[in-house]
Structure 1
Amino acid sequence: MLDMEKATSLAQKFLDEKVSHAGMTFALVEGERIQVGRVFYFDCQSVAYLRSGDLRDMAVGTGYVCVDGETGECRMLGAAESARLDLF
């Protein structure tokens, strides 16, 4: 079973390699992380928004990053699925 530190590292690596692109890079939102059973959830947002707070820089329609604590597999949840979980 992964610990929070390893899951955090995997989540950021996933954002860097699979989600971020030339037009928008993503980062984990500080303090917005939780473990539910064997699954870790992380809130994320565009780096530009996290730096500026300007709504024009906000990534809209993204959900949480989900890390399976057993396998380390990462995936991005959709906005609707994330809203139903209501974790943060």
Structure 2
Amino acid sequence: MLDIEEATKLAQKFLDEKVSHEGTALALVEGERAQVGSTFYFDCQSVAYLRTGDLRDLAVGTGYVRVDGETGECHMLGATESAQLDLF
């Protein structure tokens, strides 16, 4: 089973390689992570918003990054699914 640090690295790598687009880089929100059973959840937001706090840079409609603690598989949840989990 992964530990939280390994899962954090996988989640950011997933954002960098699979989710971020040119001009819309996403990053994990510091301190916004949770473990439920063997699954890890991370909140994410646009790098621009995390740097500036400017609402014009806010990534809207993004959900949590889910990392399976057994397999390391990463998946981006939708905003509705993330809101239903109510982790942060």
Using structure 1 for the length normalisation, give the TM-score. 0.99
Structure 1 unaligned segments of length 5 or more: list them: none
> Aligned with 2:67: secondary structure?
strand
- Taking only the aligned residue pairs, the percentage that are identical comes to 82
1:84 paired residue number: 84
How far has the Cα of 1:23 moved from its partner? 1.9
Q: Which amino acid aligns with 1:38?
A: S
Aligned equivalents of 2:18, 2:56: Cα separation in 1: 23
The alpha-carbon deviation at position 21 of structure 1 amounts to: 1.0
Structure 2 match to 1:33: 33
| Aligned alpha-carbon RMSD (Å) | 0.3
Consecutive aligned runs of 4 or more in structure 1 exceeding 6 Å deviation: none
Number of equivalences: 88
Q: How does 1:3-18 map to 2 (within 5 A)?
A: 3-18=3-18
Matches of 1:22 and 1:10, distance apart in 2:
20
Q: Deviations over 1:37-67 (max 9, x none)?
A: 0000000000000000000000000000000
- SS of structure 2 residue aligned to 1:76: strand
Structure 2 length normalisation: TM-score? 0.99
The separation in 2 between residues aligned to 1:87 and 1:55, in whole angstroms, is: 22
